Amino acid sequence: MSLIDDFLARWHEYRRPGYYEEFDYHWTMTVDLDRCTGCEACVTACQAENNTPIVGEDAIARGRHMQWMRVERYWEGEYPDVKLRAIPMFCQHCDAAPCETVCPVSATYHNQDGLNAQIYNRCIGTRSCAVYCPYEVRYFNYNNHHWDEPLDQQLNPDVSVREKGVMEKCTFCIQRIRQAKDAAKDDGRRRVQDGEVQPACVQTCPTEALVFGDRKDPDSAVSLMLGNERAYTVLEELNTDPSVVYLKKVDADAA
């Protein structure tokens, strides 16, 4: 009995709340739902940037769609008094990610920048990470995909084309982060400055609903957004501690 009491009393020590403070960066994205119009430009940009295949009608009918970023739609109210709520959903890069603990081969892990990494070469396709992910943002390659001429010429050379049998997901455009770090080192700087890295979705968003940056930098645009009183994380009760923070939509007629 005392063992359980002891465990419960020291629970927060086991969770190591300061663990992520020793990391270099903490990449974070904020999504302002008040600005999001649900246009899905981010979805298209993500698809183009990350060589996401178009799986086709049959595969989608079997639930094998491939889309690192999606815009979820929630309808509220009865016709004709309906309201649409659009919520962009992608990998939340949780600091306490359920997917990382279940991977038998450590193909997914947390790196020093606070990113939830996915190494395709290591993945053996058990799909357990997709089962454990509460946000349903991991996608499995059921087939080898091909790009017809001349579409194969538009593949991004900085992103590998995934093969059949591996899991994939949003990487926060790791190729762009890497490029910015290389550029910073070439300039002799220690750190990447705020605004130098923009994932494809952030770059494309016409209403600037998405903001990306380093949470460790107190003056970065994303840090300023985090102080907003509308900020919340999705499925907070699961204690996954996501790196993606949403800002609640404000209803003009609700107040």
Partner 1 sequence: MGVSIVPTLKVLKPVGMIVGVGFVGLLVGYFANAAFFPGTTPVQPIEFSHTIHAGDYEIPCLYCHTEARRSPSAGVPSVNKCMGCHAIVATDSPLVREVARHYENAEPIPWIKVHDLPDFVHFPHNRHVAAGLECQECHGPVETMDRVTRMAPNEMGQCLTCHRDMEVEHGIDCLTCHK
From residue 155, give the alpha-carbon distance in Å to each of 66, 76, 159, 162, 167: 16, 39, 8, 12, 19
Judged by CB under 8 A, the stretch of 64-72, 117-125, 144-152, 238-246 that binds partner 1 is: 117-125
Judged by CB under 8 A, the stretch of 105-113, 129-137, 209-217, 238-246 that binds partner 1 is: 105-113
Among 87, 130, 159, 221, binds partner 1 (CB under 8 A): 159
Q: Does 129 engage in binding with partner 1 (CB under 8 A)? A: no
Q: Does 184 engage in binding with partner 1 (CB under 8 A)? A: no
Q: Does 112 engage in binding with partner 1 (CB under 8 A)? A: yes
Q: Does 158 engage in binding with partner 1 (CB under 8 A)? A: yes
Q: Does 196 engage in binding with partner 1 (CB under 8 A)? A: no
Query: Angle 34-37-39 (CA atoms, 0-180°, nearest 5)?
Result: 155
Q: How far apart are CA 29 and CA 211, in angstroms?
A: 6
Among 43, 46, 69, 174, binds partner 1 (CB under 8 A): 174
Judged by CB under 8 A, the stretch of 75-83, 104-112, 138-146, 208-216 that binds partner 1 is: 104-112
Give the end-to-end CA distance of the chain in Å, rounded to a whole number: 50
Report the run of H or E that residue 175 belongs to, with start and end.
helix 174-186
Report the run of H or E that residue 174 belongs to, with start and end.
helix 174-186
Q: Point out which residues pair with 168 in neighbouring strands.
A: 139
Are 210 and 42 in contact, with CB atoms under 8 Å apart?
A: yes
Rule CB under 8 A: which residues touch partner 1? 24, 109, 111-112, 115, 117, 119-122, 157-161, 174-175, 178, 182, 185-186
